[in-house]
Amino acid sequence: MAQQQTPSIAARTALGAGWVIGWRMATRLLGLISTLVLARILVPADFGLVALATVSAGAIDALSVIGLEDALIRDHESSRSLNDTAFTLTVGRGIVNGLIVALLAYPASVWFNEPRLASVLFVLALLTVLAGFENIGVVAFRRELQFQKEFLLLLPSRIVGVAVTIALGVWLHSYWALVAGIAVTRLMRLGMTYWMHPYRPRLALTRWRHLVGFSFWTWAAGIALFAWDRAETIVLGHTLGSQGVGLFLVAIEIAVLPTSEFVSPVARALFAGFSAAQREGRDLLDAGTRVAAALMVVVMPLALVVSAAAGDLTRVLLGQQWLAAQPLIAVLAAMSLPAVLTKVFGTVLTARAHVRASFSIVALSATAKIPVLYAVALTGDLRGVAVVSVGAAFVEALLYCVTVKRFATSPVPILTFDLARTLVAGLAGLGVLYATGLGWDLPPGSPYTALVHGFVVGVVGLATFSAVQLALWFAAGRPDGGETQILRVLTGLIGAFRGRRQPTP
């Protein structure tokens, strides 16, 4: 029975990853359209202002994250009493968080020296309260690996939110267009959770003790993760103001596209799949290592092209007024590489309930990163801040590799020949782009010239990487590595969407 169930879990996880990636591709396309319009209407300070508001509200949210959804997904039991308790705790958390955000609105505006910040935070405070009332029943979509339903849940609110943002941006030419887009997206999602799932939660606290054990370290890890992820925004907001924050955040959003659009969605699906496998008593390290190797084959060339074509992406997507983001994108693109190991092995640890270990890694990384980041930010060197961020990301990934090996039940190597082949292929692509002068150069001209130049950079970079990767794979005797995993998943997904068979694990 166990041997028959493994392909089922793996197949549903693979198909789920496809749905989540589809969601990310759809939302990124919508976001790209929004960015193309708003970047030519609003200034970096407008984006920075809204980013400071969301980070300030997010800081309060992070202080109370107790991982209730993750606890429900990995728990062996699924009952009304458990779900109602989770819903009640979520409602209480939303109300408390909203009140705290409102109380701290004016102090935050003083700290960041941004008077406009307080009014935006008042709006986010109300949205925080309302978000606590989302239907807890939709967690079942992830627990049961029904990611197609989650796709249908999230997409409509995103479409309407982007449409409202663009319309108000063109009309108002104000940062309030961004705030309105956030509000519409969250309110529509709230309604969709009740429309998509028949579960109607009630107020109850009968099972709170059952949830607290797993949730405590999830809460601690959430705080550490917030400090890690938002350190640049907080530090730059205090030292360089909303202008510096807006420039850096837009740069990093473009730079880490391979992570945000591919690795993160896969990790979201993996958590549900790994949790299902863990409930059956399986060792997840071997599967995690294989997934990491396969993801690196995809992410490495994409990160290389994003870095090499940073100037072209800036001119085409953002416009001339954002050219200062080019060197930042070129450096920050490297963050996608350690993100593969961090996301996959972090998911393995969480699925195995080693949340305390994840907390220790992120807390240690953030503690080491923030002082250096602050010291460099005081010099006003945004590129130096980007270098510090990338270096810290590699340190964090190394800590995850060391930690996950410590919990392994079998001797599985983390740094395999699969990763070695990918690294060599990536270095080959980098060498060709640098030697030919195509990469890391922005020729003068219009956005159309940049589009053509960026296309050439992408073709040369991807072709070189693919040729070397395949050559090394054939030279090694076509081992069952990352390349094989990608071919299996692609073949299986194509067959699944055609209705012929389930995806290959």
Say whether 416 sits in a helix, a strand or coil: coil
Nearest-5° Cα angle at 351, 397 to 7: 105
pLDDT surpassing 70 at residue 54: yes
Q: Which amino acid is located at 47 in the chain?
A: F
Report whether 57 contacts 122 (CB < 8 A).
no
Q: Which residue has the tokens 């938002």?
A: 230
Q: What share of the chain is helix, strand, coil (3-state, %, to 5)?
A: 80, 0, 20
* C-alpha span between 149 and 226 (Å, rounded): 28
What is the average pLDDT score of the chain?
78
- Which residues fall within 8 angstroms of residue 184, CB to CB, at 6 or more apart? 157, 160, 161, 164
Cα torsion through 364, 365, 366, 371, rounded to 10: 100
* C-alpha span between 244 and 262 (Å, rounded): 27
**DSSP letters of 360-389?**
HHHHHHHHHHHHHHHHHHTTT-HHHHHHHH
DSSP tag of 502: P
* Residue bearing the bigger pLDDT, 56 or 116: 116
| CA distances in angstroms from 38 to 41, 148, 177, 313, 431, listed in the order given | 5, 30, 9, 16, 36
Q: Which residue has the tokens 């995850």?
A: 400
pLDDT surpassing 70 at residue 28: no
Residue 426 has a pLDDT of: 92
Confidence of residue 64 (pLDDT cuts 50, 70, 90): low
pLDDT surpassing 80 at residue 371: yes
CB crowding 1-29: b at 16 or more within 10 Å, else e: eeeeeeeebbbbbbbbbbbbbebbeebee
Token pair listed for 368: 């080491």
pLDDT surpassing 80 at residue 413: no
End-to-end CA distance of the chain: 16
* C-alpha span between 334 and 389 (Å, rounded): 10
- Which residues fall within 8 angstroms of residue 87, CB to CB, at 6 or more apart? 135, 136, 201, 202, 203
Tell me the average pLDDT across 40-54: 77
Domains annotated on the chain, with CATH: 1-216 (1.10.357), 230-494 (no CATH)
Residue 121 has a pLDDT of: 92
Report whether 239 contacts 231 (CB < 8 A).
no
Report whether 336 contacts 295 (CB < 8 A).
no
Nearest residue to 333 via CA among 371, 305, 297, 364: 305
- Mapping DSSP onto H, E and C, the string for 241-301 reads HHHHHHHHHHHHHHHCHHHHHHHHHHHHHHHHHHHHHHHCCCCCHHHHHHHHHHHHHHHHH
Residue 272 has a pLDDT of: 66
Q: Which residue has the tokens 């509200």?
A: 57
- Which residues fall within 8 angstroms of residue 282, CB to CB, at 6 or more apart? 6
Tell me the average pLDDT across 71-92: 74
Report whether 397 contacts 341 (CB < 8 A).
yes
Task: Write out pLDDT tens, residues 258-282.
Answer: 877 777 777 766 766 776 666 666 6
DSSP tag of 261: I
* pTM of model > 0.75: no
Q: Which amino acid is located at 122 in the chain?
A: F
Report whether 317 contacts 254 (CB < 8 A).
yes
- Which residues fall within 8 angstroms of residue 60, CB to CB, at 6 or more apart? 97, 100, 101, 104, 128
**Cβ atoms < 10 Å from Cβ of 498:** 8
Task: Write out pLDDT tens, residues 171-185.
Answer: 888 889 888 988 998
Task: Write out pLDDT tens, residues 420-456.
Answer: 888 999 999 999 999 988 888 777 777 788 888 889 9
Q: Which residue has the tokens 């003068």?
A: 444
* C-alpha span between 267 and 339 (Å, rounded): 11
Confidence of residue 2 (pLDDT cuts 50, 70, 90): very low
Confidence of residue 18 (pLDDT cuts 50, 70, 90): low
* C-alpha span between 56 and 245 (Å, rounded): 13
Token pair listed for 32: 């790209």
* C-alpha span between 417 and 445 (Å, rounded): 43
Residue 483's Cβ-count burial label (10 Å; 0-12, 13-18, 19+) is buried
Confidence of residue 503 (pLDDT cuts 50, 70, 90): very low
Residue 3 has a pLDDT of: 41
